[in-house]
Structures are given as structure tokens and as C-alpha cells.
Amino acid sequence: MSATRDNSVLFSLNQLLSLHEEAVRAEEEAARARVEAERTAREDAARREAEALMQKAREEAERIAREEAARRAEAARLEALRLAEVERARAEVETQARLEMMRKADEHERALAALREDEKKKKLKRALVSCVLGAAALIGGGMGLYFGKIKPDQDALLASQAADAAATREEAAKLRAKLDADAKRMDEVARRLEEEKQKARELEEKKNAANEAPPTRPGRPGTGPKPNEGPKTGGGKCEPGDPGCGIDGTRLF
């Protein structure tokens, strides 16, 4: 029985040792798996980073290539413009040179023609000079006559006419003022005559009214004319236009 217990204990120990070894192996496997996973993750991260760097490098290279191509195209365009400008300037210079040569040739031909016609021109020039001198002498004489005699006489005549016109205007102004004053006086006389006529008509109406009144009865006290009294009349002479004077010079009242 002692041997059986020993065998059981040994078996149990072996099982425990096996379990421990399995646990250790499991832990080691787990550790290796973690290490492998971390390594794989690092490798993946490094690979992705490398790919990103490569993509960025490719994009940068493409950008640089595009910019370089654009610079080359711009340089080619500017060079073409420069060559075109040079060609245009060369053509203009050649054209100007041809025109200058043609102008000089034409001037040379004209100079030769002028030399051939020089004698005729000299004769014509002498005739023209003679005509010009004669005309200048005639014009000078005419101007001397005009400024020496005609113009002073005209200026004096114009000054005299201006003075006469001013005197005429002044006389007309005085006459107009006198006529205005006479018209005012005539208006005043007419107004006064009209007033006198109106007064004469009123007096005549009063006389007619007195003559048409019925006679008073005799014997009544306080009636009839008083002794030594009679109707009042104007009588006498006066100046027409005075107050109370008629138009015929007879005083009315």
C-alpha cells in the first residue's frame, strides 16, 4: 500500500509538472504571438510609412516635372517672341534702309533735274524778283498814302461825327425833357379847365333851380326880398384858369 501511495503521489507530481510545463509553453506561445503581432504591426506601419513617403516623393517628382515642363514651355514661348521681335526689327531696318536708298536716289535724280533746269529757274527768279520789288514799292506807296493822309482824315471825320452825334443826343434829351414838362403843364391846365367847367355847370343848375322856384305870397312877414338886396352875381373880369373865373374871362362868383 505504501508503494501504491508513492506511485499515486509521483503520478500527481508528474501531472502537475506536465500542467506547469504546458502553462509555461502556453505563456511562451502567447509571448511569441504578442511579439510576432507587434513585429507584424511595426512592419505594417513601416511599410505604410514607406509607401506614403514613396507616394509623396512620386507626387513631388511629378510636380517638379510639371513645373520644369512649364518653365521650359514659357522659356520657349519667350524665346519665340524674342526671335519674332528680332525678325520684325530686322525687317523694319531693311525696309527703312530700302526707303532711305530710294529717297536718296530720288533726291539725286531731283538734284540732277534741278541742275539741268537751273538756268531756266534763274531767269524765272530774276523776273519774279522784279515783280515782287515792283509790287512792294506799289504797296509801300499805297500804305504811306493811307497812313499819312487818308487814315488821319478818316479818324478826324469819325471823331467829328461822334461829337456831332453826342451833341445831337444831348439836344434831343433836353428837348424831350422840355416836351415832358410842357405836357405836364398842359395836363394841369386841362384839369383846371375841366374843374371850372364843372363849377360853371353846377352854378348854372343852381340859377335854373332858383328861377323855376314858385313866387312867394305878398303880405306874409319874413318873405320877399329885403330892401337894397338883390341876387348876388359875380360880374367883373378875371384871368381864365383862376378860381371862380369862367373860360370867357368873366368872374362867376
pLDDT digits (tens, 9 = 90+) for 102-129: 888 888 788 777 777 776 666 666 766 6
In angstroms, rounded to a whole number, what is the distance separating the alpha carbons of residues 179 and 172? 10
Indicate whether 148 belongs to any domain. yes
DSSP letter, residue 218: T
- Looking at residue 78, its pLDDT comes to 92
Indicate whether 253 belongs to any domain. no
Query: Within 10 A of 196 (CB to CB), how many other CB atoms are there?
Result: 19
Indicate whether 24 belongs to any domain. yes
pLDDT at 153 over 50: yes
What would the mean pLDDT of 204-229 be, rounded to a whole number?
58
Indicate whether 165 belongs to any domain. no
Residue 217 phi, psi dihedral angles, 5° rounding: -75, 140
Count of structural domains, the chain: 1
Tell me what the pLDDT averaged over the chain comes to.
75
Per-residue pLDDT band at 178 (split at 50, 70, 90) = confident
Indicate whether 37 belongs to any domain. yes
Is the dihedral angle over the CA atoms 135, 136, 141, 144 positive or is it negative? positive
Q: Domain range spanning residue 39?
A: 11-159
- Looking at residue 6, its pLDDT comes to 59
- Looking at residue 232, its pLDDT comes to 42
Indicate whether 84 belongs to any domain. yes
CA dist list (Å): 147 to 140, 155, 236: 10, 11, 80
Indicate whether 155 belongs to any domain. yes
Element spanning 103, H or E: helix 2-116
Indicate whether 252 belongs to any domain. no
pTM of the model: 0.28
